[in-house]
Amino acid sequence: MSFDPIQEDCLRLILQDMRRKRVFPLENPAFIERDMDVYSQDPARLIETDEDRSFHLTTRAAEMVDYRIPFVTDEAEIDRMSDEAEGMLREAAELDPSNWDARRMLSALVAQSNDEYVSYLLDAREEVEHDCALMVASAQDPYSREFAAGIGRNPYLRWLAAISSQALICGQYRLALRTAEESLSYAPDDPGDVRHTGMFALAKLEATRKELADYRRRHAVSYALPSPRNRRPHPAEKDLDPWSLLAQMSVAYRELDYDGASRLLRLLLKRSPHAAHALFYQAEFPEGVFGRVNVMPGSEDELVLAISEATPLLQEGMGAPEASSFSTWISQNDAVQDALDQQDAQLAPHFGGATGGEN
């Protein structure tokens, strides 16, 4: 699962509260549960420093931009919320100039283009990396060491993830892949799911299916997380996430292996009851500003997110005079159309079973 801004804010504040109250050892379930209750009721009771308030403002902005604005339809309300989020990020950056999340997110909101945003990320990367290394090196007490070994490294990982994802959008596929590999080398457990961006970048670089499989093996630690499955498909594909399935499908499609691509498509259709709608409409979901949007593994939301991020792959073939795009091939595939017809048939009795009427 990706970064959860609210959870991370809560953990930061609890750790700081432990430091102030000299709670040790850190494994203190009663204290942690009590502080979690305090946070759920009123986070301000745990906020004491500028750094505390800075990150709390950052998470409030993240919640607004990544989890609320995408579902608002009124343009005036979107503008109001966007301005409010920008104001919170500006205040956060002023309170704590070393809050790289706030500075990165602010740049994402005000940049005039993806290219401008990527340039900013690349220019500041060395400074972000230096601050992260300094934090680790200066961690002398148990509270600082706990922070440095865990959530303290997350801003740097989010910086790398932003470079990788934005580079993919901008068509800089080698940069996207290289940065994903660097992030996975730094944090093999991959808390931000940057491996998925690397997989798409590899597919865009016309990798073979063997190269995609080698990538998964190379980063086996990050792919070890379990996710629910309704059935056990072919052993080589039983644990594939939707990003891996889409990447492999695009490679098979490019190689004109339509049978192989169709088999992978059927696996995607089995992921959720409404997978056919997601594969037919292929809605684009806004990029998360804090990080990749946090969704439940194996859920329909995860599939929708993966399809949205696969836009660079789905666009392959567009404009070709005698070939449809990969996107069209998916939406018009018999497997998708049959699944849509079955779902319509199941819904018909709930609406009278008719499509027209008589006078």
Q: What percent of the chain has pLDDT over 70?
A: 90
pLDDT on residue 226: 47
pLDDT on residue 271: 83
Residue 314 tokens, joined? 């789905």
Average pLDDT over residues 86-105: 98
Question: How far is residue 3 from each of residues 8, 194, 239, 249, 287, measured CA to CA in Å?
Answer: 8, 11, 22, 27, 14
Question: How far is residue 10 from each of residues 53, 70, 164, measured CA to CA in Å?
Answer: 12, 24, 27
pLDDT in tens, 299-313: 899 999 999 999 999
Q: Round the average pLDDT of the chain to a whole number and report it.
A: 91
Domain boundaries, the chain: 1-110, 240-348
202: number of CA atoms within 13 Å, CB side?
A: 26
Question: Alpha-carbon distance 178 to 125, whole Å?
Answer: 14
Rg of the chain, C-alpha, whole Å: 23
Q: What percent of the chain has pLDDT over 90?
A: 84
pLDDT on residue 53: 99
